[in-house]
Amino acid sequence: MEKKDLKIVFFGTPEFAVESLDALIKNDFNVVGVVTMPDKTAGRGHKLYQSDVKRYAVAHDLPLLQPEKLKAEGFINELKALEADLFIVIAFRMLPREVWQMPRLGTFNLHASLLPKYRGAAPINRAVMNGDTETGVTTFFLKHEIDTGDMIMQRKIEIRPEDNVGDVHDRLMHLGAEMVVDTVYSILDGSLTTTPQPEGEFTPAPKIFKEDCRINWNKSSLEVHNLIRGLSPYPAAWTIVEEESGRPLESKIFESRLTDMPCYGVECGTLKREGKQLFAACADRWIEILSIQPAGKKRMATEAFLLGYHPFLMR
């Protein structure tokens, strides 16, 4: 089959997916349709929000579908009318069987982990939060159970000690786009091979909620540091800062630095100021707070924060 004869429908929503869609277009693949989430209102002004994938599709004049319900008869009929050979899914909702079984060459997904590790909605965050030193991307054919299908390709990257989840996300986004293109070529030229995922050897990566982001200062400094960088810049770790005035202040912490200063006997969450620096006591050592955002304010360096606030405890 010639490249131009391979009809592809692309499913995706966020920026992470756009990079792969762009790579397919730049490699002259025939994307006959793009499926993304419906527009929604967001923010105080209730402005209409369009997904990153929709904005790309509109800018490149790609046929666009935005179904409310993936099992709706009208959507199913629209998909069938595209007569696609292959579906590609990246950071999208779980597809019903009647959708992912539709194309003759199947449906493959790009997942931001080294499957079967970190199946679920937040694989990048969980890898950094857990202090992993490597992660990667996997392409695999969809099955009914989420993130369980036979693997096609897998590539690794190092998670460096200074990386936050934003850094890892961006590197995986670019690596994943390259691998999506390579996966399509392997399908096109018949060189594709697949490997079943090992049974029973998986790590869950569930969706992250606000309470998952709250810092527990009773944990070790390394655990606290990994939580902060695993949630930075989004959704961000948070804590309650108590000021000398007694006012509690919910605050996001974006950056921290490990120290070798022990703090045994000090109440966890106690704050210590040294000049323009701020340190918080964990279960074993002090950790330096480098960047913070008090509720209702912009993110700022700790030096700027200390000009207007007088904190003494985090809890």
- Give the model's pLDDT for residue 207: 96
38-74 pLDDT, tens digit per residue, is 999 877 777 889 999 999 999 999 999 999 999 999 9
- Give the model's pLDDT for residue 97: 96
- Give the model's pLDDT for residue 88: 98
- Indicate the burial class of 299 (C-beta count within 10 angstroms; 0-12, 13-18, 19 or more): middle
Question: How far is 196 from 194, CA to CA, in rounded Å?
Answer: 7
Contact partners, residue 206, CB within 8 Å, separation at least 6: 120, 121, 122
Side-chain half-sphere of 19: how many Cα atoms within 13 Å? 16
- The 3-state DSSP composition of the chain as helix, strand, coil percent (nearest 5) reads 30, 30, 40
Beta bridge partners of 34: 10, 64
Contact partners, residue 277, CB within 8 Å, separation at least 6: 288, 302
Question: How far is 20 from 16, CA to CA, in rounded Å?
Answer: 8
- Give the model's pLDDT for residue 127: 98
- Give the model's pLDDT for residue 199: 82
Strand order in the sheet with 64-65: 64-65, 30-35, 7-12, 86-90, 107-111, 134-141, 151-158
Residues of the chain with pLDDT below 50 are none
Q: Among candidates 156, 155, 154, which has minimal Cα distance to 140?
A: 154
Question: How far is 80 from 85, CA to CA, in rounded Å?
Answer: 10
97-111 pLDDT, tens digit per residue, is 999 999 999 999 999
- Give the model's pLDDT for residue 284: 97
In this structure, which amino acid lies at residue 188? L
- Give the model's pLDDT for residue 2: 80
